[in-house]
Amino acid sequence: MSKRKSVRTRGKLPLSKYFQELAPGETVAVVREPAVQSAFPERLQGRTGFVETKRGKSYIVKIKDQKKEKSFIIDSIHLKKIKKIE
């Protein structure tokens, strides 16, 4: 896991990711945006889950942690859509 951004993107926020809209039931990956200062748990980095609902400007994401399914409130800039292959 790299903790640094590349030189060209350092300090910049991708506005398209900041304002993205996610529908309930969509599959997302949790990818930490290092330009945003937040108390982000490292154990969530790289995990995948499902969007449950929207709360304010953040989303409630259900992630399976070992055998239990847990809900986390994550800002939209830290979420990346995953396309389903059918």
The domain locations on the chain are 14-81
What's the pTM value of the predicted model, to 2 decimals? 0.83
The 10s digit of each residue's pLDDT in 12-39 is: 788 888 889 999 999 999 998 888 877 7
Question: So what CATH class is 14-81?
Answer: mainly beta
- List CB contacts of 8: < 8 A, sequence separation 6 or more: none
What pLDDT was estimated at residue 68? 94
Distance CA 65, CA 72 (A): 11
